[in-house]
């Protein structure tokens, strides 16, 4: 981060504002005004497996079906749910071990 940005963030913190909340709100506003970037971020996070299709559609501000179409147009495979009870159990155990 640039020195100027750090100075501003430090001053904001000293004034009693929550630095993390401010950064989150700034990012939300930036993405709100940048449709192309918003969609690219949603696709990248989905491609990496960090978010679900539903969350990707929220970030991109698209409907669920529009998000699916966007992913398909960009050659990003749509992930489906577990194909078996065993696969579901494995995924659950993996998630629980991360807690």
Confidence of residue 97 (pLDDT cuts 50, 70, 90): confident
Q: How far apart are CA 42 and CA 57, in angstroms?
A: 7
pTM for the whole structure: 0.67
End-to-end CA distance of the chain: 30
Question: Tell me: the pLDDT tens digits for 22-32?
Answer: 888 988 899 99
Helix (H, G, I), strand (E, B) or coil at 67: helix
């Amino acid at each position: 981060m640039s020195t100027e940005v750090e100075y501003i963030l430090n001053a904001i913190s000293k004034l009693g504002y929550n630095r993390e909340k401010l950064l989150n709100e700034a990012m939300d506003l930036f993405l709100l005004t940048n449709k192309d970037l918003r969609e690219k971020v949603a696709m990248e996070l989905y491609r990496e497996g960090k978010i679900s299709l539903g969350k990707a559609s929220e970030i991109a501000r698209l409907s669920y079906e529009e998000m699916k179409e966007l992913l398909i147009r960009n050659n990003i495979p749509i992930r489906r749910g577990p194909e078996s009870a065993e696969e579901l159990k494995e995924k659950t155990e993996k998630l629980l071990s991360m807690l």
